[in-house]
Amino acid sequence: MTPHSADPLTLRDVHKRYRDGRRKEVHAVRGVTVSIEAGEFVVILGPSGCGKSTLLRLVAGLETLSDGEIDLGPTRLNDLEPAKRNIAMVFQNYALYPHMSTFDNMAYSLRISGLSRTEIDTRVRKAAAALDLSDLLERKPGQLSGGQRQRVAMGRAIVREPRLFLFDEPLSNLDAKLRVQARLEIRRLHAQLGRTALFVTHDQVEAMTLADRIIVMNNGFVEQIGTPTEIYAKPATTFVAGFIGAPPMNLLDARVEGQSLLLAGVTVRLDFSLPIQGPVTVGLRAESIQVGEGPLSFESDLVEHLGATQLIHGHLGKSPLVISVPSGHHTTRPGERLQLSVRTADLHFFDPASGRRIQASPV
């Protein structure tokens, strides 16, 4: 495959409604609008039931649109049958034919399409070489490891030379080590092939390491679209703040009073202004908290040792708080009180009613 034939993907006000077993209407996808550039690798991220797989299936044609438009390059996909969309999809369960060899599994769709034996052989062996499967072409799925079966499923998609790749949680059946290897292979292959790709996952690590951009979904809505750096550094909502990051961002109740912030009984002077007074939700990353001298009093409940870092769980006033520090940097016991300090530049502010980010401005 050559990297010159990528197409942009555009979704405009896409909706999906259906009725469940009790005839109750479910609004699974709610007005999704996004433009994906040609050759871009975009990850759709969110918890179970948020609509991410439904959105992917709408693009593939496996679900019928309720409203909206989906374009792949100049082609309107709305009314095209799945087989005519020239889209390849890699599923969670791989769906390999158990009685067929690796070669035959990868070649099956090409034979149905009527390609010549020479063209099929060329495409399969080229994809197999890219996926390190050349020595496994005669083996059947039962003779392959989980990681190898996953690569065969990817190879079956690659040989079709599609306009768009769709991945529906393809790594979720692999163990932790294989998932890391598979992420590297997918990223390498994307760089090599240059096709536009949509990848669905509930795993934020996969999203942060694979994506050019991430679409964060919640309850059918798009919460935020941005690069991994943008979403981590400036979450648009409390949902994104609490979903992205390991550990997720601490969210604390506070009050804005004039040019000051009242947080856990301590008054912090702000060197910027906020367009809100009264109750506010303050976001604070675990690694942005300094342990030692400081005005904030924290009670430790539990320490998690994670190798290079350790997480200290506890309470700041009545609010739960997690602190991340380098291992060996500080030793603490449950029930111990620590003094904390934070920089005002590291604080994030959200409207407690809507959950939307509040932008600070210079004084």
Does residue 149 sit in the same domain as residue 20? yes
Q: Are 110 and 208 contained in the same domain?
A: yes
**Inside any domain, residue 127:** yes
**pLDDT-based confidence at residue 4 (cuts at 50, 70, 90):** very low
pLDDT confidence of residue 6: 87
For the chain, count helices (H), then strands (E): 8, 22
2 within domain boundaries:
no
How far apart (Å, rounded) are the C-alpha atoms in residues 201 and 263?
Answer: 35
Mean pLDDT of all residues in 109-131:
91
Query: Which among 347, 324, 323, 201 is positioned nearest to 269, based on CA atoms?
Result: 347
Please report which confidence band the pLDDT of residue 124 belongs to, taking 50, 70 and 90 as the band edges: very high
Q: What pairs with residue 90 in β-bridges?
A: 167
Q: Are residues 203 and 330 in the same domain?
A: no
**Per-residue pLDDT reduced to its tens digit, 264-298:** 999 999 989 999 999 999 999 999 999 988 999 99
CATH for 42? 3.40.50.300
pTM over 0.85: yes
> Would residue 262 count as lying in a domain?
yes
> pLDDT tens for residues 38-88?
999 999 999 999 999 999 999 999 999 999 999 999 999 998 999 899 999
Given this model, what pLDDT does residue 348 score? Answer: 97
* Residue 330 or residue 153, greater confidence: 153
Which SS3 state, helix, strand or coil, does residue 191 take? helix
Residues 220 and 293 in one domain: no
Position 216 scores a pLDDT of 98
66 secondary structure, DSSP code? S
Task: Check whether 2 has a pLDDT greater than 60.
Answer: no
Structure tokens that stand for 117 in this block: 């034996």
For residue 3, the model assigns a pLDDT of 43
Exposure on the CB side of residue 172, measured as CA atoms within 13 A: 17
- pLDDT score of 335: 85
Q: 166 - beta bridge partners?
A: 89, 198
What is the C-alpha separation between 195 and 160, in angstroms, rounded?
Answer: 12
Q: Of 237, 270, 291, which residue is a domain's last?
A: 237
pLDDT in tens, 137-196: 999 999 998 888 888 988 998 898 899 999 999 888 778 888 888 888 888 888 888 999
The residue segments making up the domain with residue 170 are: 9-237
Q: Are residues 290 and 185 in the same domain?
A: no
Residue 328: give its domain's CATH number.
2.40.50.140
Confidence of residue 95 (pLDDT cuts 50, 70, 90): confident
293-315 in b/e form (b: 16+ CB < 10 A) is eeebebebeebeeeeeebbbbbe
Q: Give pLDDT, residue 212.
A: 97
**Dist. CA 100–CA 51, nearest whole Å:** 34
25 HSE (CA, 13 A, CB side): 7
Residue 1 lies in a domain: no
**Which of 220, 237, 254 is where one domain is finished?**
237
pLDDT score of 282 = 97
- Is the same domain home to 200 and 279? no
Q: Is the same domain home to 98 and 228? A: yes
| Residue ending a domain, choose from 237, 260, 286 | 237
pLDDT(342) > 60: yes
Q: What are the tens digits of pLDDT across the range 292-318?
A: 889 999 999 999 988 889 999 999 988
Mean of per-residue pLDDT scores for the chain: 92
pLDDT at 359 over 50: yes
> Which helix H or strand E contains 81, and what residues bound it?
none
Q: Judge if 254 and 151 occupy the same domain.
A: no
Q: What are the tens digits of pLDDT across the range 196-214?
A: 999 999 999 999 999 999 9
Whether residues 192 and 326 fall in one domain: no
Evaluate if residue 239 carries a pLDDT over 90: yes
Higher pLDDT, 236 or 89: 236
Do residues 299 and 186 both lie within one domain?
no
pLDDT at residue 329, rounded to an integer: 72
pLDDT for residue 45: 97
**How many whole angstroms separate alpha carbon 83 and alpha carbon 78?**
13
Structural domains in the chain (count): 2
Nearest to 107 by CA among 140, 142, 148, 156: 156
**What does DSSP say about strands 250-257 and 87-90: parallel, antiparallel, or unpaired?**
unpaired
